[in-house]
């Protein structure tokens, strides 16, 4: 936990550490792996505005932190109306008894100052029932005012990490397909937003169908499939500049289902020729192609293992859709899914220990997880149509597409904890599908 | 009338969903009327191809094998294409919504390719026929039961070219 937190701090260029680290682990800890039934109660009073210009932002930052923490399902906020103590001085001693009285096991305090467009956020976390600060001490983030939500997410990530011992995921983004219009006239645009649905930005117009965007490992580029040429082809976009290019240029050959390798140099994808769909890799710089499979069956939805050595994909070579794992260079593949029904869209978790997938059985769709050898399958959701899982950067949460039934059916984004708890919609301005979660931002 | 036909063909060539609403489908049969050149009664017209011959074949759930009925329609399509050599065609493969996105793209590719191979087997030059799959992205019918799904599992032959006059 200490080592991990140090990593977060080093990775965040805008961070400076102000407080001294506490020497030993405190008792306040959520062991997520054991499963959490009762969320941990906490309080996050409005941060103290240290300059007049920070008045509004100091309250908003506390609200975003609360939204992040409570949104995990692991924490429960004690509302401000129940607070006994008012925190008016960031450096004053905390009245532990007042927070114990309202059963706030964790307390987060902070101070915000705004000078011009420069924003400074300081915060501390407290283990109320141990009468002390959380390990890690006070921290300070500095940046520009337009990045205030990101700073709130970084505070929440830090608190989450200290209490769970796991990496955070709040300072991250999601690229997805924004959808408007009825089923028979659906308009699709590529869009990017913060993980919680804030700051939506559209990356393409709706003139062409776009499908299944995927982040590069560094989060700066996105692969997606576009029908701009009249045929599905893979495009890569620099999301900072919103510049794009076509990766494959062979007219009339359909390419889709791209994903980056962990080193960002290779793209694995499907190509259909003569009605047969196989897997290929392409060197993203030279464009050179390598064929990975050559079977008359459908091979698609490939995903690299985090170490880059293996690829999981779906194939109907045994008759129906099932999951297979092979070496990243291709060759023999081992079937790993054996349950009833059909399995598709496998995605390797960032930790490497689990695969998320879509399962169809008896007319229902499920998002599920299994070990990479196919064991310990667990279904997390069930609906008319759930598909296309993507992992949070810490491997704790899965976001996916849920489409509702019937003539008025629409697609929305949902997320669920890998325990199967905390199923919730992700707020988007229009419909949404095909989410892809970014790595944690720097 | 020929002006209308041109518009239809241009839209079709772009492969947009809107073309389905303009150029046919059972519900629209007879929307292009008139006996003049380019009308349904003109056997060399795209309207005749779409509505009298039938521009689409349907598939069984999760299958790409051509049914006997589909083969009959494709045989007539092949004869028309052999007689009207100004036209080329793009065959669009589609799937119903009961499947994952990538799989349905691959399934649509199989369906379009099956239709194309049948046309080629009847003598249509392969370089006149392209295929594209839309997977489940372009359903014609929007209910969530078999009556709609059966219409959405299709391969549609979209004519291009023939834009003379």
What is the residue-wise DSSP string for A208-262? Answer: S-EEEEEE-TTSSEEEEEE-TTSS-EEEEEETTTTEEEES---TT-EEEEEEE-T
CB pairs under 8 A between A and B: 110
- The answer to whether the CB atoms of B17 and A185 lie below 8 A apart is yes
Residue A29 has a pLDDT of 77
Burial class (CB in 10 A: 0-12, 13-18, 19+), A264: middle
In contact, A426 and A77? CB cutoff 8 Å: no
Tell me which residues of chain B, numbers 118 to 137, contact chain A at a CB-CB cutoff of 8 Å: 130-134, 137
User: CB contact, 8 Å: B141 with chain A?
Assistant: yes
Least confident of A312-321, B6-15, B42-51, B155-164: B6-15
pLDDT at B38: 81
Copy the structure tokens of residue B60: 């069984």
Of B117, B51, B100, B105, the C-alpha closest to B80 is B51
CA of B158 to nearest chain A CA: how many angstroms apart? 13
In A, minimum Cα distance to B20 occurs at A184
Chain A contact for B79 (CB, 8 A cutoff): no
Q: What is the reported pTM?
A: 0.89
Interface test with B, best of A211, A227, A275 (most B CBs within 10 A): A275
CA distances from residue B55 to B51, B73, B104, B148, B151 in whole angstroms, order as listed: 7, 8, 21, 18, 13
Give the end-to-end CA distance of chain B in Å, rounded to a whole number. Answer: 12
Asked if A232 reaches chain B (Cβ–Cβ under 8 Å), the answer is: yes
Pick the more confident residue, B13 or A158: A158
pLDDT of residue A32: 66
Residues B86-143 pLDDT 10s: 999 999 999 999 999 999 999 999 999 999 999 999 999 999 999 999 999 999 999 9
From A231's Cα to the closest Cα of chain B, the distance in A is: 6
B163 confidence band (pLDDT: 50, 70, 90)? low
Does any CB of chain B come closer than 8 Å to the CB of residue A300?
Answer: yes
**Residue B13 confidence (pLDDT):** 38
Distance of residue A157 Cα from the nearest chain B Cα, in angstroms: 33
Model confidence at B39, in pLDDT bands (50, 70, 90)? confident
With 80 as the cut, is the pLDDT of residue B67 above it? yes
Q: Is A406 on the interface with B (CB under 8 A)?
A: yes
Q: Is A182 on the interface with B (CB under 8 A)?
A: yes
Would you call A233 an interface residue with chain B, using a CB distance cutoff of 8 Å? no
Q: Which of A304, A303, A335 is nearest to A319 (CA)?
A: A335
- B5, pLDDT greater than 50: no
Domains and CATH numbers, chain A: 2-164 (3.40.50.10070), 173-437 (2.120.10.30)
pLDDT of residue A244: 87
Instruction: Name the residue in chain A with its Cα closest to that of B114.
Output: A275
Q: From first to last of the 442 residues of chain A, give the pLDDT tens digit.
A: 232 332 233 333 333 333 323 333 456 777 666 555 789 999 999 999 999 999 999 999 999 999 999 999 999 999 999 999 899 999 999 999 999 999 999 999 999 999 999 999 999 999 999 999 998 888 999 999 999 999 999 999 999 999 999 999 999 999 999 999 999 999 999 999 999 999 999 999 999 999 999 999 999 999 999 999 999 999 999 999 888 889 876 777 899 999 999 999 999 999 999 999 999 999 999 999 999 999 999 999 999 999 999 999 999 999 999 999 999 999 999 999 998 999 999 999 999 999 999 999 999 999 999 999 999 999 999 999 999 999 999 999 999 999 999 999 999 999 999 999 999 999 999 999 999 999 999 8
Mutation site for A-interface testing, chosen from B100, B107, B120, B151 by largest number of A Cβ within 10 Å? B100
Which of A182, A254, A301 has the CB atom closest to B142's CB atom? Answer: A182
| B138 and B94 Cβ atoms separated by less than 8 Å | yes
Distance CA A130, CA A439 (A): 34
Tell me whether residue A437 is exposed, middle or buried, using C-beta atoms within 10 angstroms of its C-beta: 0 to 12, 13 to 18, 19 or more.
Answer: buried
Cα separations in angstroms, A238 against A19, A244, A371: 38, 6, 33
pLDDT tier for residue B25 given thresholds of 50, 70 and 90: very low
Domains of chain B: 2-161 (3.30.1330.60)
Partner-chain contact A211 B137, CB within 8 Å: yes
Contacts of B20 in chain A (CB under 8 A): 184
């Amino acid at each position: 936990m200490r080592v991990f937190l140090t990593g977060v701090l080093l990775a965040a260029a805008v961070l400076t550490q102000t407080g001294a680290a506490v020497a030993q682990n405190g008792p306040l800890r959520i062991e997520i792996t054991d499963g959490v039934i009762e969320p941990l109660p906490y309080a996050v009073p409005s941060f103290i505005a240290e300059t007049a210009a920070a008045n509004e932002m100091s309250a908003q930052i506390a609200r975003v932190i609360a939204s992040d923490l409570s949104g995990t399902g692991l924490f429960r906020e004690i509302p401000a109306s129940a607070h006994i103590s008012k925190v008016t001085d960031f450096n004053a001693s905390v009245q532990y008894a007042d927070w114990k009285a309202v059963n706030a096991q964790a307390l987060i305090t902070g101070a915000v100052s705004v000078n011009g467009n420069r924003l400074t956020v300081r915060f501390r976390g407290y283990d109320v029932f141990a009468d002390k600060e959380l390990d890690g001490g006070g921290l300070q983030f500095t940046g520009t005012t337009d990045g205030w939500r990101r700073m709130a997410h970084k505070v929440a990530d830090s608190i989450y990490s200290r209490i769970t011992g796991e990496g955070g995921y709040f300072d991250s983004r999601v690229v997805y397909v924004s959808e408007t219009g009825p089923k028979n006239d659906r308009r699709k645009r590529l869009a990017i937003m913060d993980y919680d649905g804030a700051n939506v930005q559209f990356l393409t117009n709706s003139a062409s169908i776009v499908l299944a965007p995927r982040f590069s490992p560094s989060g700066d580029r996105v692969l997606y499939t576009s029908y701009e040429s009249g045929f599905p082809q893979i495009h890569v976009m620099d999301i900072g500049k919103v510049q794009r290019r076509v990766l494959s240029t062979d007219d009339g050959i359909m390419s889709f289902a791209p994903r980056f390798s962990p080193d960002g140099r290779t793209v694995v994808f499907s190509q259909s020729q003569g009605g047969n769909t196989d897997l290929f890799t392409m060197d993203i710089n030279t464009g050179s192609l390598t064929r990975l499979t050559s079977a008359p069956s459908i091979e698609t939805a490939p995903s690299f293992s985090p170490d880059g050595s293996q690829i999981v994909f779906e194939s109907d070579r045994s008759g129906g859709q099932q999951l297979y794992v092979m070496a990243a260079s291709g060759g023999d593949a081992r079937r790993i899914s054996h349950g009833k029904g059909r399995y598709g869209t496998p995605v390797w978790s960032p930790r490497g220990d689990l695969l998320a997938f879509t399962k169809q059985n008896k007319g229902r769709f499920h998002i599920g997880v299994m070990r990479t050898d196919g064991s310990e399958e667990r279904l997390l959701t069930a609906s008319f149509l759930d598909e296309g899982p993507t992992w949070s950067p810490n491997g704790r949460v899965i976001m996916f597409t849920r489409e509702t039934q019937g003539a008025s059916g629409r697609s929305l984004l949902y997320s669920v904890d890998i325990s199967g708890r905390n199923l919730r919609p992700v707020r988007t301005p229009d419909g949404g599908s095909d989410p892809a979660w970014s790595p944690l931002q720097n | 009338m020929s002006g209308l036909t041109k518009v239809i063909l241009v839209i079709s060539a772009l492969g947009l969903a809107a073309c389905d609403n303009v150029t046919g489908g059972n519900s629209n049969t007879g929307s292009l009327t008139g006996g003049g050149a380019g009308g349904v009664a003109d056997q060399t017209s795209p309207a005749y191809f779409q509505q009298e011959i039938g521009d689409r074949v349907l598939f069984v759930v999760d299958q790409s094998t051509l049914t006997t009925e589909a083969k009959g329609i494709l045989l007539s399509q092949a004869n028309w294409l052999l007689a009207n050599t100004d036209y080329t065609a793009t065959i669009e493969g589609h799937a119903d919504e009961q499947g994952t996105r990538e799989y349905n793209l691959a399934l649509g590719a199989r369906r379009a390719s099956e239709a194309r191979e049948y046309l080629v087997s009847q003598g249509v030059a392969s370089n006149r026929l392209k295929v594209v799959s839309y997977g489940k992205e372009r359903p014609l019918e929007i209910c969530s039961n078999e009556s709609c799904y059966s219409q959405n599992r299709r391969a549609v032959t979209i004519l291009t070219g023939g834009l003379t006059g």
